[in-house]
Chains A and B, each alone.
Chain A
Amino acid sequence: MSDTTDTGPVLAADGTPLKRSLRRALRAQKLRALALIAPLLIFVLVAFIAPIADMLFRSVENQIVGNTIPMTVEELRDWDGQDVPDEQVFRAMYFDLFLASEAKEHTKLGSRLNYEESGVSSLFRTTGRDVDDMGEVFQEAFEEISPEFEEAQFWYDTMSGGAGAEGNERLMSNQIGRLEQLEASNFSGDAGFVPGAAISDILPNTARAYAAFAAFTHFVDEDVVAEEEPWEAVYAALALDLEDPGTAAALAAYDGPGAELLRQAAAADLPPVEMKAAFIESNKDWNRIEYWEVIHTYSPPYTTGYFLNAVDMEKTTEGIALRSEDERIYGILFKRTMFMSLVITFSCIALGYPIAWILANLPARTANLLMILVLLPFWTSLLVRTSAWKVMLQQQGVINDTLVWLGLVADESRLVMINNQFGTIVAMTHILLPFMILPMYSVMQTIPPSYLRAAKSLGATNWTAFWRVYFPQSVPGIGAGSILVFILAIGYYITPEIVGGTTGTFISNRIAYHISSSLNWGLAAALGSILLAVVLILYWAYDKIVGIDNVKLGG
């Protein structure tokens, strides 16, 4: 007995310990199994999970503000929200907006913020057109001082500090990184320009503006930096730097390329940099505090704003508040979607149960024929079925005509059965009925008819036999059908759109509107997330109450 314990672990035939050998064999098996399902798994991940996750992510994502106007966001961080921001913020906005309008990204930001406050869209659009002119005064002033300021090569030499000068790599890579965020792409390699360390100390704004220009020229325009005359914004930045009295002193000690001309410019009389005035002249709405509040509120990279919108709330300066009553709509729609989906589910149960019962109890041949009738709608286009209901239910439609002909309804008071909740419920009950009948039928088929006979032979009435014996066994079918119908119903879009009028539309119609018309995908994603969460909660509740094990889609 002690022999085995002395010889150590059990060995396999090839001498490796049995445990390890077994594990290896199992792992190989698992990998094989995984390899078999891998195509499906990858397909589901790529084509289903990833897009949904991406879409849901949009409901909180808000990087566009920080990416498009980063300096303004930075300047606004400590803004108290009492008055329209000062010149400092407008200057940051000018340089941000200039680059953004070169990259044609400013209007995107305008549309984004317009969802929160009407008017921001044209604010950015009109001023984006004017930023060139705002800088042009400075460009002209400098060119008056010396025509050399028009020379691309002069600027390149001045800003790079001449050959062999120490470079400010950090500034350059910051600007490239910023441009990457703005353009949402990756730039590799260097821009063929690095601002000189000395000159960027003396002229920080100019160096930054020129570096942004250089990065854009090289990576986006794909031109040579040294051959392009800089943007108007660079001249404005230089004017701004020269306004600082310290700059002239620093320039006096500077001996890099262009130093002489810069000293000359510092001594000259330049137009003052008044960006606030220029912005307000371009569009007087820059003077409206509401717009700045919106920019300020929505500057963080992630926002709860879309979710708040989706539940009829909004961010204000005083915190989160309900929207004014004439703008509340999503609460009504969510409630209506839930209520109508429930009504549709119950109508489907009421109509589907007897049909499924008949199907399950008829001889196979007749049952199959009836089954085809149940399945027939599946093979007809959804649009056709919905439009057919229109023909049936409208005021000059088949049902009303028949009722008038029978004299049950007066010609002047034809029934309104479409473009309202009733129309949606009727059409959707019809369309979703097969999803209720099929699971019920497959469950009922497995209930042996002998149980009912046994109950009756023991003295039960027809009703007792049905209610105490048959019905409890058919509940899993009802459960499965209800889940199917309910979940399909709350996401339904096309039928409510066509027959729902104004009182019979669902939340999905609003989601579709925001996806395809208003392009407010963030809000659409938030509404979709809420809908998904509601379904999951209901599913969970169903599992707790009825138990998901009791749901059967088939025998």
Chain B
Amino acid sequence: MKLTKTLLATTALTVAAGASATAQDMADSMTLVSWGGAYQDSQQKAYVEPYLEMNPGVTATWDESSAEAVAKLRAMNEAGNVTWDLVDVVASDAMRLCDEGLAMELDHDEVLAAAPDGTSASDDFGDLIVSDCFVPQIVYSTTFGYRTDMVPEGVEPPSSVCDVFDLETYPGKRSLQKRPIDNMEWALYCDGVAKDEIYDVLGTDEGVDRALAKLDTIKDQVVWWSAGAETPQLLADGEVFMGSTFNGRLFSAIAEQDQPIGMMWDMQSFDLDGWIVPAGLPEDRLARVMDFLKFATDTQRLADQAAYISYGPARDSSAPLVGKHAELGIDMAPHMPTDPANATNVHIYDYEWWADNRDDLDAKFQAWLAR
């Protein structure tokens, strides 16, 4: 399989350049992997359905396995039978897959469409291309929501991430994700570390202890979650006062389900989600998936996706095209994590740093949790 890796990469480039590809050379079915739920629906409506309409005879099947994509792709690769054609993963997983040689390296300018004004794809996506294998789709953020009706009387509603650590002013339970990422950074930030020094401090043993000590102050009030749906549910049940989750989940709890929940955008942690192409696809499937990928990540399609879910399009050129919610008819721009009003104080997540330190910090974090 690896034998043909480079060969395939070369083919991909030629195919994308449109030199040799005709519809006959392309497979007529694709297996797309995503997260299920509202997010997958937004992909289905924004680009899969339009693509299938343009290409009658082609079928697309969804596999809701993104959460285990890295492990499953590795297993498929070892078995020599990769059944997926395009996989939606978060950026850190894309880096892992690229490092493991499980995802194909892409030349973004060759395989992706340029912006309408002619800006090349790599400039249009800019820094968001965090790995050679990764085609970003959306910017989402992990941020806090709180029960508006649980704010103590006479107190301003929480507006800073440090209010999460302030049990005196804002008593009540909090829900945090059961992993060190984001939590450690917030803890250090609220312990007085300057934003641009967070990773330097976290890189030392004392820094880790300091972050854990800060988390210790709220530890017995924390419910730890592992699935994105948990915090909205805990908030809806009144089980917790405030909790972190993905901003799109909070949007749907607030805008679609009318829950008494408020958003806190302070120190929201930006993250990316996007496509990777598994390494070692046969030529016809690769040709099809490259054709789809080019369409699905162009400026208009990414802007269309924002009509279904409150995640920011990864292309600069898509931002002005973001319109109203497809069903609710409300303006989507103010609900985007990337909206200037929401992005006054954001936490920029360091992928390289976490790729290096994740295993180590996770061990310490889990040991701390178990104590």
Point out residues on A near B: beta carbons under 8 Å: 103-105, 107-108, 110-111, 114-115, 118-122, 125, 183-185, 219-222, 326-329, 332-333, 336, 394-396, 419, 497, 501-503, 505, 510, 513, 515-521
Contact call B6/A221, Cβ cutoff below 8 A: yes
Contact call B369/A502, Cβ cutoff below 8 A: yes
Contact call A518/B224, Cβ cutoff below 8 A: no
Of A103, A396, A501, A518, the residue contacting B358 (CB under 8 A) is A518
Contact call B364/A326, Cβ cutoff below 8 A: yes
Of A121, A184, A501, the residue contacting B2 (CB under 8 A) is A184
A505 to B355, CA, bound (A): 25
Shortest C-beta distance, B96 to chain A (Å), equals 7
Interface membership of B5, Cβ < 8 A: yes
Contact call A394/B237, Cβ cutoff below 8 A: yes
Interface membership of B52, Cβ < 8 A: no
Do A510 and B366 contact each other (CB < 8 Å), given the known contacts A119-B356, A125-B99, A183-B3? Answer: yes
Report B153-174 CB contacts with A as 1/0, cut-off 8 Å.
Answer: 0000000000000000000010
Contact call A419/B70, Cβ cutoff below 8 A: no
Do A516 and B70 contact each other (CB < 8 Å), given the known contacts A107-B99, A327-B364, A419-B224? Answer: yes
Q: List A contacts of B362 (CB < 8 A).
A: 513, 518
Shortest C-beta distance, A285 to chain B (Å), equals 10
**Chain B positions 205-256 with a Cβ under 8 Å from a chain A Cβ:** 208-209, 223-224, 226, 237-239
Do A220 and B6 contact each other (CB < 8 Å), given the known contacts A502-B370, A520-B359? Answer: yes
A104 to B67, CA, bound (A): 25
A485 to B316, CA, bound (A): 56
Contact call B223/A519, Cβ cutoff below 8 A: no
Shortest C-beta distance, A161 to chain B (Å), equals 29
The residue on A at minimum CB distance from B240 is A395
The residue on A at minimum CB distance from B226 is A497
Contact call A219/B359, Cβ cutoff below 8 A: no
Of B98, B209, B358, B370, the residue contacting A329 (CB under 8 A) is B370
Contact call B68/A516, Cβ cutoff below 8 A: yes
Q: Report the count of interface residues on B (CB-CB < 8 A).
A: 44
Contact call A122/B356, Cβ cutoff below 8 A: yes
Of A115, A183, A501, the residue contacting B224 (CB under 8 A) is A501
Shortest C-beta distance, B65 to chain A (Å), equals 10
Q: List A contacts of B1 (CB < 8 A).
A: 185
Contact call B352/A122, Cβ cutoff below 8 A: yes
- 5 CB contacts below 8 A, A to B, read A111-B99, A122-B352, A185-B2, A326-B368, A394-B239
Q: List B contacts of A120 (CB < 8 A).
A: 356
Contact call A118/B99, Cβ cutoff below 8 A: no
Contact call B101/A107, Cβ cutoff below 8 A: yes
A395 to B355, CA, bound (A): 37
Of A107, A503, A521, the residue contacting B98 (CB under 8 A) is A107
Contact call A122/B101, Cβ cutoff below 8 A: no
Q: List A contacts of B224 (CB < 8 A).
A: 419, 501-502
Do A329 and B366 contact each other (CB < 8 Å), given the known contacts A115-B359, A185-B3, A396-B237? Answer: yes
Shortest C-beta distance, A176 to chain B (Å), equals 13
**Chain B positions 340-371 with a Cβ under 8 Å from a chain A Cβ:** 352, 355-364, 366-370
Shortest C-beta distance, B283 to chain A (Å), equals 14
A517 to B67, CA, bound (A): 9
Q: List B contacts of A110 (CB < 8 A).
A: 99
Shortest C-beta distance, B287 to chain A (Å), equals 19
Interface membership of B17, Cβ < 8 A: no
Shortest C-beta distance, B264 to chain A (Å), equals 22
Interface membership of B74, Cβ < 8 A: yes
Q: How many residue pairs, one in A and one in B, have C-beta atoms under 8 Å apart?
A: 104
Q: List A contacts of B327 (CB < 8 A).
A: none
The residue on A at minimum CB distance from B100 is A108
Interface membership of B7, Cβ < 8 A: yes
A119 to B96, CA, bound (A): 14
Q: List B contacts of A517 (CB < 8 A).
A: 70-71
- Listed residue (A328, A395, A519) with the most chain B CB atoms within 10 angstroms of its CB: A519
Shortest C-beta distance, B166 to chain A (Å), equals 19
Q: List A contacts of B70 (CB < 8 A).
A: 516-517, 519
The residue on B at minimum CB distance from A497 is B226
The residue on A at minimum CB distance from B9 is A104
Shortest C-beta distance, A324 to chain B (Å), equals 9
Of B99, B223, B359, the residue contacting A108 (CB under 8 A) is B99
The residue on A at minimum CB distance from B363 is A327
Q: List A contacts of B352 (CB < 8 A).
A: 122
Q: List A contacts of B2 (CB < 8 A).
A: 103, 183-185, 220
The residue on B at minimum CB distance from A116 is B359
Do A222 and B366 contact each other (CB < 8 Å), given the known contacts A110-B99, A115-B359? Answer: no
Contact call B5/A104, Cβ cutoff below 8 A: yes
- Listed residue (A115, A120, A183, A518) with the most chain B CB atoms within 10 angstroms of its CB: A518
A185 to B4, CA, bound (A): 11
Shortest C-beta distance, A327 to chain B (Å), equals 5
Do A114 and B363 contact each other (CB < 8 Å), given the known contacts A104-B5, A121-B99, A221-B7? Answer: no
Q: List B contacts of A184 (CB < 8 A).
A: 2
Contact call B96/A519, Cβ cutoff below 8 A: yes
Q: List A contacts of B99 (CB < 8 A).
A: 107-108, 110-111, 121, 125
Do A329 and B237 contact each other (CB < 8 Å), given the known contacts A222-B7, A419-B224? Answer: no
Contact call B3/A519, Cβ cutoff below 8 A: no
A221 to B4, CA, bound (A): 7
A219 to B5, CA, bound (A): 11
Q: List A contacts of B100 (CB < 8 A).
A: 107-108, 111, 519
A-B complex: 5 closest residue pairs judged by Cβ atoms? A107-B99, A118-B360, A516-B71, A329-B367, A502-B369
Contact call A501/B223, Cβ cutoff below 8 A: yes
Report B1-21 CB contacts with A as 1/0, cut-off 8 Å.
Answer: 111111100000000000000
The residue on A at minimum CB distance from B96 is A519
Q: List B contacts of A328 (CB < 8 A).
A: 367
Q: List A contacts of B358 (CB < 8 A).
A: 518
Contact call A118/B101, Cβ cutoff below 8 A: no
Q: List A contacts of B223 (CB < 8 A).
A: 419, 501
Q: List B contacts of A505 (CB < 8 A).
A: 370
A396 to B240, CA, bound (A): 10
Do A396 and B356 contact each other (CB < 8 Å), given the known contacts A329-B367, A503-B370? Answer: no
Shortest C-beta distance, A181 to chain B (Å), equals 12
Of A115, A219, A516, the residue contacting B3 (CB under 8 A) is A219
